[in-house]
């Protein structure tokens, strides 16, 4: 009985984890995460707090040279900034 409970718990955990991981996954034709980080740095972000795949673009938050925290969206294929706003 213990074994069945453990197996069920692991199955539920695996389903939950895989569902979360697949929620926002970069497309095959996207620039890599590493390239997105480099593009953000080239756009003036000295520190990145986060960057992730979200609805057909890279989305992130970081500190620019002005010392302020900004949010951004980046074209997933080119790395071009499409939206930036102060947080």
Contact assessment for residue 15 and residue 8, using Cβ atoms and an 8 Å cutoff: no
Alpha helical stretches, state H, the chain: 2-21, 33-42
Q: What percent of the chain has pLDDT above 70? A: 74
pLDDT of residue 4: 40
Contact assessment for residue 62 and residue 69, using Cβ atoms and an 8 Å cutoff: yes
CATH topology of domain 27-86: Nuclear Transport Factor 2; Chain: A, (3.10.450)
Identify the segments of the chain with pLDDT beneath 70. 1-23
74: three-class secondary structure by DSSP: strand
Give residue-wise pLDDT tens across range 46-70: 999 999 999 999 999 999 989 999 9
Locate the domains of the chain by residue range.
Answer: 27-86
25: three-class secondary structure by DSSP: coil
Q: pTM for the full model?
A: 0.71
pLDDT of residue 15: 37
């Amino acid at each position: 009985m213990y074994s069945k409970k453990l197996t069920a718990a692991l199955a539920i955990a695996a389903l939950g984890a895989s569902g979360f991981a697949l929620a926002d996954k970069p497309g095959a034709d996207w620039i890599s995460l590493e390239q997105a980080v480099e593009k953000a740095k080239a756009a003036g972000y000295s520190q990145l707090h986060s960057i992730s795949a979200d609805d057909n673009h890279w989305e992130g938050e970081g500190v620019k040279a002005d010392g302020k925290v900004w949010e951004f969206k980046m074209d997933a294929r080119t790395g071009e900034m499409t939206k930036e706003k102060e947080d």
